[in-house]
Structure 1
Amino acid sequence: MGVYFVTGTDTDAGKTLVAGGLLALARQHDMSTLGLKPVASGCDMTPAGLRNIDALTLGEQSTPEVGYETINPYTYEPAIAPHLAARRTGRVPTLNDLVSATADPLARQRDLTLIEGAGGWRVPLNEHEDLAGLAVRLRLPVILVVGLKLGCLNHARLSAEAIRADGLQLAGWAGNLIDPDFAADAHDYQANLDTLGQTLQAPCLGLVPRLEAGSPGQRATAAAQHLSLPGAD
């Protein structure tokens, strides 16, 4: 399988749901897995320290298990853009910091490793660098999670163009149904999916429907039923 960077068309597009689902699917095939979220804002203070629900979800789907600090080395409590949260705390990472923080986990060479970004492709990391720069520095193929709602065609196409403009491969995309009304008309819904397939010019790894409420682990397992692994024919 290898290592992939997971980005989304927007905040709350469903990156963690899809990433968790792909890791869960790999585990079902007896593969070793690792999910990393180097930078996360919107963390909760716990007796063990700041914890982010997305990072915890990725950790739950990582086999063999690793420590939380390996998954999410840069944690910020404010639920705002990561670079703003980092500035507020005075702990602002650089791309060099992230490359160093991910070096040892990537050396573990799991069957499938996913590095999840924050927000969309152009989310700033600091005043001079974008978080997407980590994927560029590591030369990683990218999985794009498309939040299926009105406006997603523009968001998805712009994201794909930006990924390719940065010299990276769009290894695949997955749709996550955010707005049920978007799929209310089956004909129009399929037409939108056809447009995504034609214009993104990358394999579709699956379409995740609206899932019933449950724990992050339960949702990841449910999402896995609607996904296929990257590179699988």
Structure 2
Amino acid sequence: MSVIVVSGTGTEIGKTVVTSAIAAAAVASGRSVAVLKPAQTGVGPQEPGDAAEAVRLAGPAVTALELARYPEPLAPDTAARRSGLAAVAPERIAEAADGLARSHDLVLVEGAGGLLVRFDEEGHTLADAARLLAAPVLVVAPAGLGTLNSAALTAEALTARGLRGLGVVVGSWPASPDLASRCNLADLPKVSALPLLGAVPQGAGALPPATFREAAPGWLAPPLHGTWTPEAFLAAWPE
């Protein structure tokens, strides 16, 4: 897989940290990596965005590219309209990802919020870019109560559009998980029909970058260049 589209079941669930962890694990395995952020919202002109955060955590070997930036923390379509700036069409996302894939082993395309968040007034979404790229979609989900429904809905949306779901990663695994979180580990693959491919610890983004890079492979399964296994993790956190 030269391109992976990273989406979420919602916003603020650890998508950027998961993207950074995949980048770090891939770099550690000898791959060249690029992170593409099609639309960055809620960040000022001189502030670092999600792509820059991936470089900070995963290391300077990672290439970062941001296509558009909007100042208000809104869906890309709404933020573009309110700012008077151009929206990002799926064709532009696909073209940028294809360009990066010509010079990198792995390109991670990080969406904004969930799979069907609108990017332009025509209603195009990250799913449209994934279709143009023929790229698998990794779903990042929260650990706790409510995640089964949102994961199932995202998986159904992927299937309805003929897209391949790569798997599910828990974006912020708590240090002391409650019963719902522990049960969800086993239930997420059942409701989504997608394999569980990792669990990134809560607060991982606040680790020193060197510590983050060293630990990242242990949070992710082999398809994401890591060493994590669901069997061992489930055994560590029984229901």
TM-score for the superposition, normalised by structure 2: 0.82
- Aligned: 1:58 with 2:54: yes
What is the CA distance between 1:180 and its match in structure 2?
6.5
Aligned length: 222
Matches within 5 A, 1:68-147: 71-90=65-84, 91-108=86-103, 110-128=104-122, 129-147=124-142
8 Å CA contact 1:213–1:219 kept in 2: the answer is: no
Overall identity of the aligned pairs, in %: 32
| Aligned equivalents of 2:69, 2:195: Cα separation in 1 | 33
What does residue 214 of structure 1 align with?
206
RMSD of aligned alpha carbons: 2.5
What does residue 196 of structure 1 align with?
188
- Aligned: 1:158 with 2:153: yes
Which consecutive unaligned segments of at least 5 residues does structure 2 have?
A: 228-239
What does residue 219 of structure 2 align with?
226
| Aligned equivalents of 2:66, 2:79: Cα separation in 1 | 15
Q: Secondary structure at the match of 1:10?
A: coil
Which consecutive unaligned segments of at least 5 residues does structure 1 have?
A: none
Matches within 5 A, 1:177-196: 177=172, 183-185=177-179, 188-196=180-188
| Aligned equivalents of 2:107, 2:208: Cα separation in 1 | 19
Q: Which has the higher contact order (CA 8 A, sep 6+)?
A: 1
Cα distance change of structure 1 residues 120 and 220 upon mapping to structure 2, 3 Å threshold: farther
1:164-209 deviation digits (Å, cap 9, x = unpaired) = 111011111101236667x223xx4332211112222222211122
| Aligned equivalents of 1:118, 1:160: Cα separation in 2 | 17
